[in-house]
Amino acid sequence: MFFPKMFSNHEVRQYLAAWSWNLGAMNMGFFLGWSGVTTPDLQSATSPIYESALTDEEVSYTTSFPFITALISSMVWGYIANSLGRKITGYLTALCFTTCYIIALTSDTFSVFVIGRMIGGLAYCAVLFNGPMYIAEMAEVQKLGRISATYLISENFGILTIYILGSYVSYDVLNVFCLAFSVLFLVLIMIFPESPVYYLKTDRPIEARVALQWFRPENEQYLESELKRLNDTFILSKKFKFKYLFTKHTLMALFIALNLQVGIQLTGIHYVTCYTVDIFQRTASVIDPYTSTIITGIFLIIAPCCYFVITNHFGRKTITIVSFFLQSLTWAILGGYYFYIEHNTIEDSSPLNYLPLVCISLYCLFFAGGGGCIPFTIYGEIFSAEVRNAVMPFIYIWNALNSFAVLKLVPTIMLQTIHMSGVFWFFSIISFYIVLFTIFVIPETKGKPFLTVIDDLTKKACWK
């Protein structure tokens, strides 16, 4: 079923299709931010899913176990997308989100609730690559950057939306809202055409042409050139050979990618988004924790806009170094604040009590405005097209493993042993490690031909 061509402008149709898939990213934001505002409810005496309040250990299961299913499904979703299509994959994604929130609304046992969250983890992994894949395959090259940019903003907008709603509505209303948007996502992706690249990959050129016509102006010559471009991309992907993974520059690129994923996950982004209210409740601030949470969510929206500006003016290496250095500095200061209040009493009116809000907001700005975005730009410049599709599942697996480790260990073992101050100092150390790693290992890639990048990576490799 195709959306009627009531919009004669093909660009508008591309943006509408992208917006429908952006709802998947928004749902991912809902899923991540959900824990940040519901944890106080789950740990209250009137917990909606249990006979008594959840312990810190139990809450850590609800936040970390979704990344186990994300890890396991990383290799599966790509196969489903290539075998059944991007739209079928989208339907399954929406179904996973829907099931997650239905279970959250109806479950009265902890084990069933955790299973529901794990089903949501399946959808989280699918959204990571299926939406960007569809957008990249239907959008015109000259518009791809602008259209793709809305995807990241949609995820952060989803987090902010949940932060705001979760501060004012009940647990059940919040879940109904998330459920409604999961269904809306399902309905909208039914309307738009399947990816033309999927049709090309399954030897259906007529269907590919019909789908592409919907996204392009009524110009036969231009349509033919676009079909050729997509077909060339498809043919190129068929030339991939397993041995390509073991070339010196590819191994070096993978080494860089895995370290950058450490920088993304082990510097605390998921701990911040999933435990935001709890973090602010542990301060001596008189500012309402929910209000502070909303403010940090606003910075998550502002930051990507800054990234789109600076990425055109500064090198990848410069942005990475500066953003992770500022993250390291921010966490070091916040760790010092928590260390002080762990050993001293601060008056409610003390200006020091604004430090947690300032530091976490700045961290969100530095992360979403650089450190969280720039690695994916670098991946597109250090991997060839045919290799990138093969290595990204491994990167997503490593990403999920690091997320699980942070969300399982930080709220339990690390808080009990090194306390909140030690947790933020740990994040600071990891951030500074990425600064040093970038200085000494990662080559500058902006504006360089791919062959030059390959040569730089080969020179950086310490193995033969």
Do residues 81 and 424 make contact, with C-beta atoms less than 8 angstroms apart? no
pLDDT of residue 140: 85
Query: Amino acid identity, residue 237?
Result: S
Residue 104 vs residues 165, 227, 292, 329, 342: alpha-carbon distances, Å: 16, 45, 25, 38, 35
Residue 59 has pLDDT above 70, yes or no: yes
Closest CA to 408 of 280, 265, 290, 262: 265
Query: What are phi and psi for residue 345, nearest 5 degrees?
Result: -105, 130
Provide the angle, in degrees to the nearest 10, between the axes of the packed helices 171-191 and 86-106.
160
Distance in angstroms (rounded) separating the CA atoms of residues 50 and 58 = 11
Does one domain contain both 183 and 250?
no
Question: Taking residues 207-217, what's their average pLDDT?
Answer: 90
Question: Residue 181: what are its φ and ψ, rounded to 5°?
Answer: -75, -30
Q: How far is CA 279 from CA 323, 352, 360, 406, 419, in A?
A: 22, 16, 10, 15, 12
- For the chain, the distance separating the N- and C-terminal CA atoms, rounded to the nearest angstrom, is 53
Pick the last residue of a domain from 164, 192, 220.
192
Pull the structure tokens for residue 322.
């500066």
188 and 246 part of one domain: no
397, amino acid identity: I
220 assigned to some structural domain: no
The mean per-residue pLDDT over the stretch 170-195 comes to 95
Residue 232, pLDDT > 60, answer yes
Of 132, 155, 160, nearest to 144 (Cα)? 132
pLDDT confidence of residue 15 = 87
Which of 275, 296, 87, 61 lies closest to 192 in space, CA to CA? 87
Highest mean pLDDT among 41-45, 201-205, 327-331: 327-331
Lowest mean pLDDT among 7-11, 220-224, 383-387: 7-11
- Assigned domain for 80 exists: yes
pLDDT score for 275: 94
Does residue 131 sit in the same domain as residue 271?
Answer: no
Range in 35-39, 175-179, 391-395 the model is least confident about: 391-395
Residue 227 lies in a domain: no
Average pLDDT over the chain reads: 89
Mean pLDDT within 264-268: 95
Q: Are residue 250 and residue 109 in the same domain, yes or no? A: no
Instruction: Pick the last residue of a domain from 158, 192, 226.
Output: 192
**294 and 435 share one domain:** yes
Q: Sign of dihedral through CA atoms 413, 419, 420, 422?
A: negative
The answer to whether residues 281 and 179 belong to one domain is no
- In the prediction, which pLDDT does 388 show? 81
Q: Which of 170, 192, 214 is the last residue of a domain?
A: 192
Residue 221 domain-assigned (yes or no): no
Confidence at residue 183, expressed as pLDDT on a 0 to 100 scale: 97
Name which of 36, 96, 30 is nearest 69 in CA terms.
96
Confidence of residue 148 (pLDDT cuts 50, 70, 90): confident
Coil, strand or helix at 45: coil
d(CA 129, CA 274): 21
Query: Is residue 10 located within the same domain as residue 154?
Result: yes
Are 184 and 257 part of one and the same domain? Answer: no
Reported confidence tier of residue 287, pLDDT bands at 50, 70, 90: confident
* Same domain flag for 41 and 147: yes
Residues 255 and 107 in one domain: no
Instruction: Report the distance separating Cα 275 and Cα 63, nearest Å.
Output: 9
- pLDDT at residue 1 is higher than 50: no
Please report, for the domain that includes residue 304, its CATH number: 1.20.1250.20
User: What is the CB neighbour count within 10 angstroms for residue 259?
Assistant: 17
Query: Which of 76-80, 313-317, 458-462 shows the lowest mean pLDDT across its residues?
Result: 458-462
Is the distance from CB of 290 to CB of 164 less than 8 angstroms? no
Residue 463 has pLDDT above 60, yes or no: no
Instruction: Give the mean model confidence (pLDDT) for residues 435-455.
Output: 91
Q: How many CB atoms lie within 10 A of CB 118?
A: 21
Q: Which range is least confidently modeled, 18-27, 165-174, 234-243?
A: 234-243
Per-range mean pLDDT, top range of 44-48, 286-290, 310-314: 286-290
Residue 422 lies in a domain: yes
Per-residue pLDDT for 284 more than 80? no
Enumerate long-range contacts of 3-12, CB under 8 Å, 24 or more apart: 3/191, 3/192, 3/214, 5/214, 10/215, 10/216, 10/217, 11/143
Q: Is residue 402 part of a domain?
A: yes
What is the span of the domain harbouring residue 323?
Answer: 242-464
pLDDT tens for each residue of 367-377 = 998 888 889 88
**Domain shared by 151 and 13, yes or no:** yes
> Do 264 and 397 fall within a single domain?
yes
Interval 90-95 mean pLDDT: 97
pLDDT at 112: 93
Nearest by Cα to 317 from 436, 216, 214: 436
Would you list the DSSP string of 47-104?
A: -TTSSSPPPHHHHHHHHHTHHHHHHHHHHHHHHHHHHH-HHHHHHHHHHHHHHHHHHH
In this predicted structure, what is the pLDDT of residue 2?
Answer: 52
Q: Structure pTM? A: 0.91
Into how many domains does the chain fold?
A: 2
Has residue 273 been placed in a domain?
yes
379 inside domain: yes
* Confidence tier at 6 by pLDDT (50, 70, 90): very low
pLDDT tier for residue 261 given thresholds of 50, 70 and 90:
very high
